[in-house]
Structure 1
């Protein structure tokens, strides 16, 4: 279209430039054309009239036809421009709607995090205690006696059982939920964990009843507490009461937000939005999300098409955050995850780095 338009405009311009010059061409260039009105620099009225009819009838018709073509081409170009502008406006409107909803969801996530509270700890600080409580639950699972059922537990199964025990807890109602959630695991191991967790709760309450050094737990640790007792004290609240009321909606909303991010048509933009979400998660939040994804209730996060691997949601967990032998080997559990510490290690190995 652009080429045709340029050609038509060029023809019109050339015609308008050359036509007025025809009456003044030299006699020897005229080839004795009868309609040329100028012979020997003498203007002939009869030939001038013929020339005018020629210009008005023939050249004018060509100019009109060319003008029609130009007008049609201009109309098509304007139509295409309007369509493109409309598409751009629609795309911009869709992007604006997406951004508004995304940032509303991000704000809601921040509010969910800020509302988390347990025994005086608020917001992201609670995840530090959550990780400590999970580690206590995992130590109970790892200490199961060497029975046939215990030997059936793989490393992943142990983390699954420990996380479900941490998540649901034990108590009049919690124990029933925990048993239902762990029906895929050896029943004898589950019952032993429930019994040990109930004992840990009793031990914690007994520690708080001791009159000596009641307000100085650190001094009591140095003087009297065993390692197991100190693990309970550091949690700062009675363990294994369950956290589904705190974490249930937190993870549901986080998953829905990532599902919304994944619906964006542009792959590059999806990763950009996912990076913003990941930036909101502290190391302890990412660590608990990692554990949640290994458990039965968080299985939607993991897998080939899971958001955890797809958007590297836990890449900021430090290398030695988990004990690779006693807890979890991150690189073995998530072989495709590009952890941040790997980038640092590669950068340090570059020439010129010490």
Structure 2
């Protein structure tokens, strides 16, 4: 007990500068406690106020980000709703646009076979976007053979004229360039991604927000965006790593668009983890066999994208029940 009392006295002497021994010193003790305690409470209140202001500011910033994102998302929807080509409207127009690009790609690979796949897409998409306008011709002739570009444009013009004669009442002219239709659309889409990317939101929340934009885009729309990124017109998507961080084209199905030399559109984007690749990572195949009372089931499971397989074999025959597993 003496040790406890001595320890307590030492603590009191260390915290309190004096120990009240009579009633005269109680007032001094109260003043000291009030001064120290008041200072501590004031400091704690200041810290709480600063924390509250920071939380409020973050909430206001988040609210403003979501409000502006909602406005830009609505603009995205309005632009798509305004699309009209032949008898198609809205997002269905992208199906026709992709068909027009394939025509441009066909004649580009026919008359300019020595180009690489990226150069072929660059030429075809530039023609698809600008048509036979002076702007498109000048952009291409700065880098590519002008005679071959003229030949490609002449063939595309012939196809366009045939379509006009066959469908004279159609709204919009196919293969006449899509600059007026797609320029605002891609400009707004790029602005949405850069705005969210530059905001102070957490990374996972950024991905969740931009996922809502991707879910609005059908397969043809995402494929055209991928082609835009491959061309000189959309190079900023890769330069600023937006493609890698948010994968706006990850829903393109496997083999959706076949390119020259048998390449697929997904082969051009090794940095993107497509949705069909995730499904293939864990794939289970179950095969059952039965012969004269002897039963066997084989389960093959793909563990990862490197192609490692896990094989499970279970045999049931009479009173035996064996299981063999192997990894290769």
TM-score by length of 2: 0.75
Higher mean alpha-carbon deviation, 60-69 vs 106-115, is at: 60-69
CA distance in 2, matches of 1:236, 1:346: 45
Please state how far the C-alpha of 1:143 moved relative to its aligned partner: 1.7
Work out whether residues 73 and 213 of structure 2, in 8 Å CA contact, stay in contact via their aligned partners in 1.
yes
| Matches for 1:156-305 after TM superposition, within 5 Å | 156-170=118-132, 174=133, 176-182=134-140, 183-208=142-167, 238-265=173-200, 266-303=202-239, 305=240
CA gap 1:291/1:55 in 2 versus in 1, 3 angstroms: same
Please state how far the C-alpha of 1:302 moved relative to its aligned partner: 2.2
Higher relative contact order (CA 8 A, sep 6+): 1
| Matches for 1:323-334 after TM superposition, within 5 Å | 323=258, 325-326=260-261, 328-334=263-269
CA distance in 1, matches of 2:282, 2:194: 33
CA gap 1:168/1:71 in 2 versus in 1, 3 angstroms: same
Q: Deviations over 1:165-184 (max 9, x none)?
A: 111123xxx2x122112122
Q: Which residue of 2 aligns with 1:125?
A: 92
Work out whether residues 129 and 236 of structure 1, in 8 Å CA contact, stay in contact via their aligned partners in 2.
no
Structure 2 SS opposite 1:124: helix
CA gap 1:73/1:107 in 2 versus in 1, 3 angstroms: same
Please state how far the C-alpha of 1:280 moved relative to its aligned partner: 1.9
Please state how far the C-alpha of 1:323 moved relative to its aligned partner: 1.4
Please state how far the C-alpha of 1:64 moved relative to its aligned partner: 2.7
Unmatched tracts of structure 2, length 5 or more? 1-10, 286-298, 303-328
More strand by share: 2
Please state how far the C-alpha of 1:79 moved relative to its aligned partner: 1.1
CA gap 1:327/1:334 in 2 versus in 1, 3 angstroms: same
Unmatched tracts of structure 1, length 5 or more? 1-9, 20-52, 145-149, 210-234
Please state how far the C-alpha of 1:254 moved relative to its aligned partner: 0.7
Q: Deviations over 1:22-79 (max 9, x none)?
A: xxxxxxxxxxxxxxxxxxxxxxxxxxxxxxx943222442233123211111111111
State how many pairs are aligned: 273
Structure 1 SS opposite 2:282: helix
CA gap 1:111/1:207 in 2 versus in 1, 3 angstroms: closer
Structure 1 SS opposite 2:176: coil
Q: Which residue of 1 aligns with 2:35?
A: 68
Work out whether residues 117 and 123 of structure 1, in 8 Å CA contact, stay in contact via their aligned partners in 2.
yes
CA gap 1:99/1:115 in 2 versus in 1, 3 angstroms: same
Structure 2 SS opposite 1:92: helix
Please state how far the C-alpha of 1:130 moved relative to its aligned partner: 0.5
Please state how far the C-alpha of 1:205 moved relative to its aligned partner: 3.9
CA gap 1:127/1:328 in 2 versus in 1, 3 angstroms: farther
Work out whether residues 109 and 260 of structure 2, in 8 Å CA contact, stay in contact via their aligned partners in 1.
no
Please state how far the C-alpha of 1:253 moved relative to its aligned partner: 0.8
Structure 2 SS opposite 1:284: helix
Larger radius of gyration between Structure 1 and Structure 2: 1
Q: Which residue of 2 aligns with 1:222?
A: none
CA distance in 2, matches of 1:111, 1:236: 19
Work out whether residues 117 and 260 of structure 2, in 8 Å CA contact, stay in contact via their aligned partners in 1.
no
